[in-house]
A = this chain, B = another copy of it.
Amino acid sequence: MKALKIPEATITRLSIYSRFLKRLDKKGITTVSSGDIAEGVGVSPAQVRKDLAYFGEFGTRGVGYNVKDLIRYTVKILGLSDPWNLVMVGAGNLGSALVTYREFKDRGFTIVGVFDNDLTKIGKRIADLEVMPLEDLPAVAQEHNVRIGIIAVPSKAAQDIADIMVGAGLEAILNFAPLSLNVPNHVEVRNVDLSVKLEILTFNLALRDK
């Protein structure tokens, strides 16, 4: 693979293209142009071609892209050719919703353990999993070759959970708590902040009202 530095925005879009293409494939569509993809996901055709060009030449000039092939390429690029096992910490409403979230399963993610340190939640069933105490996380992670953890606990507990995940040898964390986590450099963290986009909307509506 090229050694070029790839913009994170490109990876974001690749993830979106990949799922859009799967929908096309389900509809039986076999060929697609950069313009079709662009229209389907709301970006420019040049952007689509540029994004793909970071990784190779996947299309045919004058024709477009083969849908099934392009799905395979995007899935490969995103590291999704093989399934991933995840652990989830936080068995509250958000954690429970994420454990049962259909799209994760569709994209090859399997949650193999749900943890919480709230005694009232331990033992509770979510989908086919039983909520376990946090102490069990390292053993479960090791057993299932887990490299990625999801944090869905209140802000004040999040850093402690992150420390436990790092201690358990996890390499990446998806954090839903609205604060910045402190982790060593070798651990990748991405935050999903559920309020930010809502506040972008209120900002825009407030501007409009002026």
Judge if A138 is at the interface, Cβ distance under 8 Å.
no
Provided the pairs A16-B193, A96-B97 are in contact, do residues A107 and B199 lie with their beta carbons within 8 angstroms? yes
Segment at the B interface, from A60-68, A158-166, A173-181: A173-181
Task: Bits for A91-110, please: 1 = Cβ < 8 Å to B, else 0.
Answer: 01110111011111001010
Cβ-defined contact, B79 with A205, below 8 A: yes
Shortest Cβ gap from A29 to chain B (Å)? 15
Judge if A30 is at the interface, Cβ distance under 8 Å.
no
Residues of B within 8 A of A16 (CB): 178, 193, 196
Cβ-defined contact, B174 with A198, below 8 A: yes
Interface residues of A (CB under 8 A from B): 1, 8, 11-12, 14-16, 18-20, 23, 40-42, 77-80, 84, 92-94, 96-98, 100-104, 107, 109, 147-148, 154-155, 171-174, 178-180, 188, 190-208, 210
For this complex, 27 residue pairs linking A to B, each with C-beta atoms less than 8 Å apart, are A11-B200, A12-B196, A14-B203, A15-B199, A16-B196, A18-B199, A23-B155, A78-B199, A78-B203, A79-B202, A79-B206, A80-B199, A84-B202, A92-B97, A93-B96, A93-B97, A94-B101, A96-B97, A104-B194, A148-B205, A172-B201, A172-B202, A174-B198, A188-B205, A190-B197, A190-B201, A192-B194
